[in-house]
Amino acid sequence: MFTTVLASTHLGNFIIATAAFLVLFLLIRLFAWKNITGIFDQRAQKIAHELDQTEKALQSAEIFANQRETELKGVKAEADKIIEGATLVGADNKKAIIKAAHQEAAEIKERARLDADKAREDAIESVQKDVAQMAVDLAEKILKEELTPERKVALIDQYLDRLGDK
């Protein structure tokens, strides 16, 4: 008997709890279900919206990064061109400077050679005149006669001709 009462108490409690749950579920379904699902729907929409905005921001950031990378490559290429141009200009300037220096050195060398040749010719001419004058003076002393200027010139020319043959 006690088991039947206990079994019926359990069954009664189960039925009451089930009925209370169903009534509570029905009341929630009638009055609060739309609000609860609305809150969940709003939350889901908010999360979806934030995900969309995050994705757009990420795409925008990728586009911006690609643009910056492209600009950086362009600037690097331009810098490389400038450096290459400066290197070529520097090499050309170096060649021009070296060429000018060689030309100037050749000109200085030629002028020095011409100056040396002229100095040598002047020295030879001066020595020839001095030697010729000495020869005339010596001949004058030997002959003990005074030579006329025409005779002096003739002797000098004759002596110079002999010196040139040697």
- State residue 3's pLDDT score: 55
Per-domain residue ranges of the chain: 2-165
- State residue 20's pLDDT score: 93
Angle at 104 between CA 101 and CA 105, to 5 degrees: 85
Tell me the H-state helices in the chain: 2-27, 33-143, 149-165
Q: What is the pLDDT of residues 99-156, one digit of tens each?
A: 888 888 888 988 888 888 888 888 888 877 777 777 777 666 666 556 677 877 777 7
Give the number of other CB atoms < 10 A from CB of residue 132: 19
